[in-house]
Amino acid sequence: MTESANAMPMEVSSSIKLDPTEEQILKDQISCTERKTSYTTLYRFATKLDWTIMFIGLVFAATAGIALPAFSVLFGIMVDYYTNFQTHTINPNEFSKEVNYFSLVYVYFAIVIFVALYISVATWIYTGERIARQIRERYLRAILRQNIAYFDNYGSGEVTTRITTDIHLIQNGISEKVSLAFQNIIQFIASFIIALTISWKMTLVTGFIIPFLTINACLMNKFSAIFTKKSLDFYSYAGKIAEEAISTIRTAVAFSAQKKLSNLYEAYLANARKEEFKKSLLNGFALGAMLFSIDAAYALAFWFGSTLIINYELTPGKVVSVFFTLILSTFSLSDLFVNIQALSLAAGAGPKVFGILDRVPSIDIASDTGDKPEKVVGHIQFKNINFVYPTRPDVKILNDVSLEVEPGSIVALVGSSGSGKSTIISLILRFYDPISGDIFLDGHNIKSLNLTWLRRQIGLVSQEPALFKTTIAENVSYGLVGSTYENLSNNKKREMIQNACKMANAHDFIMNLPDKYETMVGEHGILLSGGQRQRIAIARAIIKDPKILLLDEATSALDTQSEGIVQSALDKASKGRAMIVIAHRLSTIRNATKIIVMNKGVIMELGTHNELMNKKTFYSKLVEIQQIQLSLKAEKHLNERNSLLMDDITKSFTIKDEDRILSNKSLSSSHFSQKSDVEMALDHNDYQFTTWELIKKVVSINKPELLILSIGIIASVINALSETGDTLRRDATFWALMFLVIAVVNFFVNMIQNVTLGFSSEKLTERIRSMSFASILRQDISFFDEDNHGVGALTSHLSLDVTHINDLAGFRLGNILQVTTTVFASVIVALIVGWKLTLICLCSVPLLVGAGSLNVKILHKFHEKAKKAYEYSTQVACEGVDNIRTVAALTRENDLWKMYHNLLDEPMCHGFKNAFLTSSTFAFANSISFLVNALAFWYGSKLFMDNEYNLQKMFTIYAAIIMGSVSVGRVFAHVPDMAKAKSASATIISLLERVPVIDIWCQSDEKFKTTKGHIKFSDIHFHYPTRPSVPVLRGINLDIKPGQFVALVGQSGCGKSTIISLIERFYQVTSGTITIDGFDIDKINVNDLREHIALVSQEPSLYDMTIKENLFFGCRPGQNITQNDIEKACKEANIHEFIVGLPNSYDTQVGKKGIQLSGGQKQRIAIARALIRDPKILLLDEATSALDSESENAVQEALDTAAHGRTTLAIAHRLSTIQHADVIFVLKDGKVHEQGTHQKLLKLRGVYYMMVQEQNLDGLNHEDTVLS
């Protein structure tokens, strides 16, 4: 592994000064101006159909908004009829006739309200789904469109946050909340107009509050959006930490870094909570001020209305009408505040999302401009190229580089890690633009070529091959995207796939898998070995027969036998095409047409192998270090052995043009159509929890804030009770003063309610996110191998599910408690005053409760299905961004977008069903109150005429019933949120309660006091949990003595890395026992076990922090290290000089997954991180594979030194690095095939002997085949 095309290698350089033109080139590649978006911007993608549907919805929302105030007019008329009957102004027959008539009018009102609310809510949920889908799709398209430099500071964790949390907030703010808010506004205006027509005096006296309420709402929304944006940014940063931690989980587990990562995650959550708490303070004060002004207006209206009655200017009915319209206006304003919150959150989420949508990258893959030559020869020229990475403008990578790749030639790039080799590959693919100089392809400046066309002429194999979470066949077929072979029939494609895999020496191991080519490779191909992944990547690169082939350490992860076969295949595949090869194993490039030696961004020398060897300069020194001699005899032997096989493969690989059969069906679409119903649930069944159990569990999480929560709940109850006593007495002056007192109480109570519940809900959100993240990091590795536990799905749980739970906390919780208390208080008052009429009216309660429960249950099922589908689509989006360089090289942007587009069909379908169900139950709950009132007026008139109830009793009951029935409708507005919260709670609780087999939280296991490092495998059998039918280890027996240096060798996939995973206890063995110093590791505390082990993986994982912070991850818990300790480890890893040469030295940021370092630099830092741990057991999985010869030699000496006094287990394909091992175990088919020292194994002339011969190492005695 060198610095890959995925990497941004930094090289030691003095600070450089760029001219304005060069600075602008860099700025254009990474700048992203955050767009200031207004709320209306969120509807940018609404179609004419959407606008038509939304307009219809608003018309019916207005109808519903007018109907409720009109009801208060009817109520006032009824009051007058009751009053006239009591004063004998009308006779019983006339009274009964009028009551019957108006009761029937109430029934008509119920029908109108049902239809109006159903249509207004359904239409807006429907259009919200459509527009949100457009935003999701366009956001992903915009993300995939961005140039590579943009992603150097941008990760898939942020994409998850935007697609889940932010777009969820936008959807919530452009759906039915808009219709309901519009209804609230119309209701308020209609109430005011109706009140004005009844009594302009009484209305104008109370109208002074309108300007205040308007200004109050505007200021609240403005500042609320600011706080929302800040909190979302912090949640986005936390999402990045979560994504990095989950995607590098093996590194986190090996170094027991779970607590450190959790602390980083929690720091961002704490900052987000602070911003949300500021918003709660603002909202509490604003709402308190609003209700104070409304209650003060009530007091004035109550007193002034009584004065008008006394002066005979108004009848009691008209005063009641005006008063009830004011009450309804209060309800509308209170509900408007809740709905406006959703709109405010949507506006706060908009800038980040629409900022990407509007960014046009300087290197634009979506552009149709540019030349598309009919023929490609493959003549590449670099002329005076100077290059600086946009995120590291102070470090020059290429300095006046000029080179030429002739058509059909093989050009090899060699040199130390970070010398700029992979940068050249990145520039050919136009991942970046140089600050000066030009690159030509067949005489065309590549800037003048169409970018998509350019990349489709090139095949790339990176040093860290990225596979996608699908089948082997699907992964290989991605190499056909955009090629002339893309539309072949599935049978022809399958033939091409198999031929490519044969050429890459992958066919045999694939056919040995139970599902063969339909085997799922897992996220990042984790279910395959490194060598297997690399062979599939090679097959993917060569399947379309590209004119230009770029190989960045294409065979670094292969065993010697596979490498020999694949190298022969690549040599034959190079005929007729230009090929650029980066290699540290110099034996693989000895036949290159031209070898270019680079150092610190400068070409040191170039020529053929023989020419450079004769010069005895830089290249010859590299060869000497690697101890390679061109053994013609061994080479001939190897080539003869492979020639027959390769001739057959090459012949079968050719497909004639006339055999091509166009087909619209791709393997991609066929595969994902089968996966449309993929189960995404966590291990525990989400349905096992009852609603009450979930409430108890969520409340228990919020237990530390129980006192604050209780204060908020009590405040909500007081607030509700203050609303139910407004018509209970007659003394106008006294009750007017009481209203004023209530106004003052309401101000403080509402402020306390919102602040306390807001604080409690944000602490709940913070705690659930923190606990969920900790629980994810607690799981064993097998958990992350499962299809439904990918990075996208798990980060979605952390963001969207927690958001859904929080939707029923805070202000919304207070609102629900408030209206619920209003209902109960109204019923109690009504029962006390007159139980007969009350019980008749309560007959609708079972119907309402049943409808509500059924609604929650059905919505829960709909939401579960939609959530699973959204998780899967999010996983696809995140995977695309995580592997953006591979996506760009394969030009899969449009293919990936189409896949995402198709995956959104299922959740959208569930969303539409949800729209119709939600709107019907909401409309039913709000319309049934009119039927209840009709029944109350009709039956109440009978009791009134029979003198069982007097006027005071009648209207006390009526007022309570009206208040309660209106409140029931307000509760039903929260039913969809309840269903989502229930589903999310089940998922989160299942995650929190999942106990892994290998549990880092378990304290009962035995601890190590001292460790010698004696490792013993006794009859170990093992298969991966996700592949129970594929045995990996079949009765392995190993005995590794304390202090021994032991090597594992064998073909890719034979079980070498699995042995290391089992020592680290990443997995539980199927059978057998592994002991360390005689202790069964299954019975040893796993944290204590890992404290004594350090791991250097084949593909090192670094975090988006400084070099020093990454090194600190190597520390054992409680281990104190100094700067001297850090520098000592870095010197041993041969990286110290490079680090101190950087402008910021050890405080240099390495970028996401170490992207700003070359592969070799990352590997050396990973080695230093392991050495800092001072482990008793050192595990090296191809620890030096990414290093150039010079660095490898130095680091190998350091590792040899570091091995003294500790047990070292090394996996290596370069046999020169393990020839001095105390014991070498040769694995084959999951068993120990040979074992012994290097010399002993050579004398056996078995598998190891053949591997040595195939590597052609210097010092080979061709009689005895002995390494020097």
Q: What share of the chain in percent tops pLDDT 70? A: 80
Find the mean pLDDT for residues 1035-1063: 88
How many residues does this entry show for the chain?
A: 1268
Per-residue pLDDT at 2 exceeds 60: no
Average predicted confidence (pLDDT) for the chain: 78
Per-residue pLDDT at 786 exceeds 60: yes
pLDDT-derived band of residue 441, with 50, 70 and 90 as boundaries? very high
What local confidence, expressed as pLDDT, does residue 1017 receive?
92
pLDDT-derived band of residue 438, with 50, 70 and 90 as boundaries? very high
Per-residue pLDDT at 730 exceeds 60: no
Per-residue pLDDT at 1048 exceeds 50: yes
What local confidence, expressed as pLDDT, does residue 55 receive?
95
In sequence order, which ranges of 786-844 are alpha helices (DSSP H)?
791-796, 802-806, 810-833, 835-841
Per-residue pLDDT at 141 exceeds 80: yes
Per-residue pLDDT at 457 exceeds 50: yes
Find the mean pLDDT for residues 600-611: 89
Give residue-wise pLDDT tens across range 816-840. Answer: 666 677 777 777 777 777 778 778 7
* Range ranked top by mean pLDDT from 261-265, 570-574, 621-625: 261-265
Per-residue pLDDT at 477 exceeds 90: yes
Domain count, the chain: 1
CB 1159 within 8 A of CB 1186: yes
pLDDT-derived band of residue 968, with 50, 70 and 90 as boundaries? low
Q: Which residues contact 692 (CB under 8 A, 6 or more apart)?
A: none
Instruction: Report in angstroms the alpha-carbon separations of 180 from 120, 124, 290, 367.
Output: 8, 9, 19, 42
Find the mean pLDDT for residues 406-411: 89
Is residue 107 assigned to a domain? yes
Give residue-wise pLDDT tens across range 908-928. Answer: 887 787 778 778 877 887 787
The C-alpha atoms of residue 317 and residue 955 are separated, in whole angstroms, by 11
What local confidence, expressed as pLDDT, does residue 812 receive?
61
What local confidence, expressed as pLDDT, does residue 636 receive?
41
What local confidence, expressed as pLDDT, does residue 478 receive?
92
The C-alpha atoms of residue 376 and residue 256 are separated, in whole angstroms, by 52
* Range ranked top by mean pLDDT from 464-478, 851-865, 1181-1195: 464-478
What local confidence, expressed as pLDDT, does residue 690 receive?
55
Is residue 657 assigned to a domain? no
pLDDT-derived band of residue 662, with 50, 70 and 90 as boundaries? very low
pLDDT-derived band of residue 79, with 50, 70 and 90 as boundaries? confident
- Under DSSP, is residue 590 helix (H, G, I), strand (E, B) or coil? coil
What local confidence, expressed as pLDDT, does residue 1073 receive?
92
Find the mean pLDDT for residues 874-881: 82
Q: To 5 degrees, how large is the angle CA 454–CA 456–CA 462?
A: 100
The C-alpha atoms of residue 82 and residue 942 are separated, in whole angstroms, by 12
What local confidence, expressed as pLDDT, does residue 473 receive?
93
State the amino acid at position 850 in one-letter form: G
Per-residue pLDDT at 719 exceeds 50: no
What local confidence, expressed as pLDDT, does residue 984 receive?
79
What local confidence, expressed as pLDDT, does residue 1028 receive?
82
Is residue 1165 assigned to a domain? no
Task: Considering only CA atoms, give the Rg of the chain.
Answer: 36
What local confidence, expressed as pLDDT, does residue 739 receive?
65
Per-residue pLDDT at 86 exceeds 80: no
Per-residue pLDDT at 1092 exceeds 80: yes
The C-alpha atoms of residue 1125 and residue 721 are separated, in whole angstroms, by 67
In sequence order, which ranges of 435-529 are alpha helices (DSSP H)?
451-455, 472-477, 490-503, 507-511
* pTM of this structure: 0.72
The C-alpha atoms of residue 274 and residue 758 are separated, in whole angstroms, by 11
Where is 1109: in which H helix or E strand? helix 1107-1112
Give residue-wise pLDDT tens across range 1206-1250. Answer: 899 988 877 777 888 899 999 988 889 899 988 888 888 888 888
Per-residue pLDDT at 227 exceeds 50: yes
**Of 480, 353, 525, 468, residue with least CA distance to 876:** 468
Q: In what order do the strands lie in the sheet with 1223-1228?
A: 1093-1096, 1177-1181, 1207-1211, 1045-1050, 1223-1228, 1231-1236
Find the mean pLDDT for residues 491-514: 88
Lowest mean pLDDT among 817-821, 1017-1021, 1032-1036, 1157-1161: 817-821
pLDDT-derived band of residue 814, with 50, 70 and 90 as boundaries? low
Per-residue pLDDT at 4 exceeds 60: no
The C-alpha atoms of residue 882 and residue 143 are separated, in whole angstroms, by 11
Where is 1074: in which H helix or E strand? strand 1071-1076
Per-residue pLDDT at 572 exceeds 90: no
pLDDT-derived band of residue 56, with 50, 70 and 90 as boundaries? very high
pLDDT-derived band of residue 37, with 50, 70 and 90 as boundaries? confident
The C-alpha atoms of residue 855 and residue 849 are separated, in whole angstroms, by 10
Instruction: Report in angstroms the alpha-carbon separations of 436 from 23, 231, 386, 388, 432.
Output: 11, 41, 5, 10, 12
Give residue-wise pLDDT tens across range 970-1016. Answer: 666 666 677 777 777 778 888 888 888 888 887 766 776 667 889 99
Q: What is the DSSP string of 918-979?
A: HHHHHHHHHHHHHHHHHHHHHHHHHHHHTTSS-HHHHHHHHHHHHHHHHHHHHHHTTHHHHH
CB 792 within 8 A of CB 156: yes
Per-residue pLDDT at 700 exceeds 60: no
In sequence order, which ranges of 553-653 are alpha helices (DSSP H)?
560-573, 609-615, 618-626, 632-653
Find the mean pLDDT for residues 85-94: 82
Per-residue pLDDT at 652 exceeds 50: no
What local confidence, expressed as pLDDT, does residue 887 receive?
92
Q: Determine what percent of the chain falls in helix, strand and coil, rounding each to the nearest 5.
A: 65, 10, 25
Is residue 250 assigned to a domain? yes
Find the mean pLDDT for residues 137-147: 90
Is residue 1145 assigned to a domain? no
Q: Which residues contact 155 (CB under 8 A, 6 or more apart)?
A: 240, 243, 244, 881, 882, 1104, 1152
Q: Give backbone dihedrals phi and psi of 155, rounded to 5 degrees, phi first.
A: -125, 175
Count of other CB atoms within 10 angstroms of residue 1243 = 14
The C-alpha atoms of residue 507 and residue 514 are separated, in whole angstroms, by 13
Domain range holding 717? 39-362+689-992
**Of 101, 327, 100, 316, residue with least CA distance to 940:** 100
- Under DSSP, is residue 1095 helix (H, G, I), strand (E, B) or coil? strand
Give residue-wise pLDDT tens across range 1101-1155. Answer: 888 888 999 998 888 877 888 888 888 888 888 888 888 888 888 988 887 777 7
Give residue-wise pLDDT tens across range 348-376. Answer: 888 888 888 888 888 889 888 999 998 88
Angle between helices 810-833 and 258-310 (to 10 degrees): 40
Cα dihedral across residues 19, 1142, 1183, 1017: positive or negative: negative
SS (H, E, C) 170-203: HHHHHCHHHHHHHHHHHHHHHHHHHHHHHCHHHH
Is residue 83 assigned to a domain? yes
What local confidence, expressed as pLDDT, does residue 762 receive?
80
Give residue-wise pLDDT tens across range 182-219. Answer: 998 898 888 888 888 888 887 777 766 777 777 777 77
Tokens 């047990």 locate to 1207
Is residue 316 assigned to a domain? yes
CB 1065 within 8 A of CB 1096: no
Domain CATH number, residue 96: 1.20.1560.10
